Structure 1
Amino acid sequence: MNTYDLWSDHTSADPLPTLARMRSDAPAIRLFNPYQDAPEWWVTRYDDVAALLHDPRFSRDKRKLSEQARARYFRVTELDQLDQHVLYSDPPEHTRLRSLVGKAFTPRRIADLTPRVEEAVERLLDQAEQHDTTDLLEALAFRLPLAVLTELIGIPEEDREKFREWTGILVAPADFTALARMATEFQEYLERFLAQRRTSPRPDLTSALIAAEESGERLTPAELMSMVFLLIAAGFETTGNLIGNSVWALLTHPDQLRRLRADPALTGSAVEEVLRYCPPVKNTTGAFPLEDTEFCGVTIPAEEMIVGSLLSAHHDPTHFPDPERFDITRTPNRHLAFGHGIHFCLGAALARLETTITLNALLRRYPHLTLAADPDTLRWKDGVFIRGMETLPVTWGDR
């Protein structure tokens, strides 16, 4: 059934040729996921991925599935109490949850973080440059969003490393046992943390979420825990990879790096091109038709998962001329990296802010920043959703 081998090490390292073949062959392709032991439908063309993100016939709420379908696609039941958030809900529940969370996660709150993000970037770079060569992912790309998110949420600094371990397991679990252990430990921590915040509110996002109210409704305990889980798990890993992918893309395209150095005002446009060219999230979350549904000219059977490849959509030549070219001035650039419609990422503004500030600091401080390894030796992480490298060794050069 699966002739495309999406899950092999070779395809994981270089998925674009396989995705191009899938785009050419059919609008929707049924594959068999060897890790889930279950069928999945994949759409790879831009228009079809965008349509999938908007189509209300496909549910993201696993609670609406039959017991048999849940057992097939969601084998780690320990995650159930952490999945009751906006990413895995449908209207009207999604509308209520997003309205409640939006009151606490406002653009002004994000903009107010600018000085703290700038300070954190400078501090991390001061530490990193003590070594001639360093792994930028370890020294900066992941430490920055973890510090910002945990401070925003109110997590004590001494507990940050726990979240690094847990989110690492979540995006690339060794097996289902490791994933179940992570979910249990994460839930137990959040239960204790939220109990403390209910009795002792502080000026942080968690306390704001506890107090958030819309039409007399509040987040239930499970919804509150799930939202905090989502903000940490999704925001940390994705932003870390966006920063890493940005530096990798620029250092491996020296003409574009020179262009950006000559005109730092292009930083925002450069970040958007990274989001298209090598998005930190490569696929949509799985969605399910609750009955047999016609889509892309084929019938998707009820309760079979359907996934959209964001990475493939971003390299669809019908929407992006010369899509394999990395161009920091590309316009228009209507990528789907943060989703679309009702599921557009709440943390998009924060991810853009952190990445832009990081790139500006690197350009200003290190005019001779270079990779400290052959680009062909760098490995991309395994995992269903995340697109990012395992390491990114750099040298600072003369400063």
Structure 2
Amino acid sequence: MTDQHDTDGVPMPFDTTYLADPHAALARLREVEPVTRVRVPDGSPAWLVTRDAEVRAALTDPRLALNKAHSDGGYAGFALPPALDANLLNRDGQDHARLRRLAAGAFGPRRVEALHGRVREVAESLADPLAARGGGDLIADYAAPLPLTVIGELLGVPQAQRDHFAAQTRVMLAPTDREQLAGAVAGIHRLLLELIARRRDEPGEDLLSAWIGARDRDDRLDEDELVSLAFLVLWAGIENVTHLIGNGTLALLRDPELTAAVRADPGMLADVVEELLRLVHPNTLAIRRFATCDLELGGARIRHGETVLLALASANRDPDRFTDPDRIDPRRAGAEHLAFGHGPHYCLGAGLARLELHIAFDTLLRQLPGLRLAVPETELRRRASFRSHDLESLPVSV
């Protein structure tokens, strides 16, 4: 644990040391006090849970809700307008199940498998220019445009709007001040309203047109839920895959022996992807929860309305769950990671994310055999966010 405390003696672990290496800071907390009272950077109180057993239990505990209505003044995450906040990450129970059923069809096994050829086509079209130029920024030139194209096409988002959405999302996740955050959120909201209006006038075979039909013809969701669902799928589908590719590529470049083994035996790649999900997923914390009653977790007494933060990155490296947890081991078996969550809020897009990651890494290893860092690793910069651990850029040469 870091030495930072507020005037009440409550730990403030999310300092610059944490931002540089959250895994080391979380490991210390996991060993000393796996459920501990903390303050987040804005000063709000929360409980931080770092051990696999408690994180796994909390993810399935119905007494820990996502709906902000249960918050009693602690950390509550992004302050979003209702039109962006009526999504799966702020719903519980029957409301959550209803919205999940509406979205689930887009990410079922058949739909995902049907995207295989298109994902590979996009990945190869992005890798070719990197090879021709002898390198570039792997984030901007490959990791970001891959999911942006895939999710954009799935929802029927025009190219110009995709780029604008991605730019505004990057600002929203790491703003310099409240004014910049408010501007980014407002820009995202306007973009989605324009997109939905266009799809209402010109419906297509895309997913968003289907959701508009569910709203307008079947009355299975309201207008805020429609906008929020589009926002969540775009945001999560683009951001998470982008930074999994970035973080995962860096991890492979650090381990040339493993990379050579995967090139020699591509059948290993599926297991390597699971290890990268466990070790380098950008989301260090799950979406915040709120206690709907007084409860006990890991020996700590959590009061009604208090915020609970579940450190997925720590649980995924818990030595009580994983042998030699900080190492990529493609032969690891039988220990399910929590990269996509657990329980009723398990990530809907897990299948699509796995497909994109498998193809992204396979394409890099095949088409860019001499891939390496173009700068010393000490020069790489991470976004300043205590919620996620991801790269601003990844300069590579071929």
Could you tell me the TM-score, scaled by structure 2's length?
0.93
Show the 5 A alignment for 1:111-190. Answer: 111-190=113-192
In structure 1, what is the Cα distance between the partners aligned to 2:314 and 2:61?
19
Change (3 A) 1:211 1:109: farther
Matched with 1:382 is 384
Tell me if the contact between 1:251 and 1:370 (Cα under 8 Å) persists in the aligned partners. Answer: yes
Q: How far did residue 300 of structure 1 move?
A: 0.8
Alpha-carbon offset, residue 79 of structure 1: 3.0
Matched residues in 1 for 2:197 and 2:143: separation? 31
> What does residue 236 of structure 1 align with?
238
Q: Distance in 2 between matches of 1:140 and 1:40?
A: 36
Residues 49-107 of structure 1: CA distance to partner in whole angstroms, max 9, x if unpaired?
111110100110113446xx3xx545865433201111211001111111121134332
Structure 2 unaligned regions, length at least 5: none
Q: Distance in 2 between matches of 1:104 and 1:113?
A: 11
Which position in structure 2 is the counterpart of 1:47? 53
**2:309 is the counterpart of 1:303:** no
- Structure-2 separation of matches of 1:343 and 1:369: 37
Change (3 A) 1:258 1:77: closer
Q: Is the 8 A contact 1:172 1:384 kept in 2?
A: no
How far is the alpha carbon of 1:381 from its aligned partner? 2.1
Secondary structure of 1:382's match? Answer: coil
3-state SS of 1:31 partner: strand
Match of 2:84 among 59, 82, 85: 82
**Amino acid in the other structure paired with 2:27:** A
With over 3 angstroms needed to count, the CA separation of the structure-2 counterparts of 1:234 and 1:259, relative to structure 1, is: same
Deviation, 1:217, is 4.8
What secondary structure does 1:41 align onto?
strand
In the alignment, the residues of structure 1 paired with residue 383 and residue 359 of structure 2 have an alpha-carbon distance, to the nearest angstrom, of 25
- 1:33 counterpart = 2:21: no
Matched, 1:19 2:26: yes
Could you tell me which amino acid in structure 2 is paired with residue 62 of structure 1? Answer: K
How far, CA to CA, are the matches of 2:150 and 2:268 in structure 1?
24
Per-residue deviation, residues 327-357 of structure 1 (Å, max 9, x unmatched): 2332234110001111111111111111111
**1: CA distance between counterparts of 2:367 and 2:384?**
32
Q: Percent identity?
A: 39
1:373 Cα deviation (Å)?
Answer: 1.9
Q: Distance in 1 between matches of 2:98 and 2:146?
A: 31
Q: Give the distance between the partners of 1:140 and 1:367, measured in 2 at CA.
A: 16
The yes-or-no answer on 1:218 pairing with 2:225 is no
Secondary structure of the corresponding residue to residue 38 of structure 2 = strand
Q: In structure 1, what is the Cα distance between the partners aligned to 2:395 and 2:289? A: 37
Unaligned runs of 5+ in 1: none
Q: Which amino acid aligns with 1:27?
A: P
Contact 2:51 2:318 in 1 (8 A): yes
Secondary structure of 1:198's counterpart equals helix
Task: Name which of 287, 299, 303 aligns with 1:285.
Answer: 287
> Where does residue 346 of structure 2 map in the other structure?
344
Preserved contact between residue 6 and residue 15 of structure 1 (Cα < 8 Å): no
Secondary structure of the structure 2 residue equivalent to 1:390: coil
Equivalent-residue separation in structure 1 for 2:132 and 2:81 (angstroms): 41
RMSD of aligned alpha carbons? 1.9
- Cα distance in 2 for partners of 1:75, 1:87 equals 11
Deviation at 1:155, TM superposition (A): 0.7
Deviation at 1:392, TM superposition (A): 1.2
- What SS does the corresponding residue of 2:370 show, helix, strand or coil? coil
Question: Aligned residue for 2:17?
Answer: 10
Task: Supply the AA of the counterpart residue of 1:25.
Answer: V
Which of 101, 104, 119 in structure 2 is aligned with 1:102?
104
Given that 2:127 and 2:368 are in contact with CA atoms closer than 8 Å, whether structure 1 keeps it comes out as no
Q: Cα gap change, 1:228/1:296 in structure 2, threshold over 3 Å: closer, same or farther?
A: same
Q: In the alignment, is the contact (CA less than 8 A) between 2:70 and 2:290 conserved in 1?
A: no
Conservation of the 8 A alpha-carbon contact between 2:107 and 2:352: no
Partner residue of 1:360 out of 343, 348, 362: 362
For 1:196 and 1:134, the matched residues in 2 are separated by: 35
Is the 1:372–1:394 Cα contact (8 Å) retained in structure 2?
A: yes
Stretch deviating more after TM superposition (239-248 or 361-370): 361-370
SS in 1 for 2:148: helix
SS of the residue corresponding to residue 130 of structure 1 reads helix
Which of 257, 271, 279 lines up with 1:255 in the alignment? 257
2: CA distance, partners of 1:103 / 1:219: 15
2:24 maps to amino acid: P
Task: State whether residues 128 and 367 of structure 2, in contact with CA within 8 Å, keep that contact through their aligned partners in structure 1.
Answer: no
Higher alpha-carbon deviation: 106-115 or 306-315: 106-115
- The one-letter code sitting in structure 1 at the alignment partner of 2:67 is D
Which segment is superposed worse, 315-324 or 78-87? 78-87
Amino acid at match of 1:92: Q
Output the CA distance in 2 between the equivalents of 1:75 and 1:177: 16
> What secondary structure, in the 3-state scheme, does the structure 1 residue paired with 2:45 have?
strand
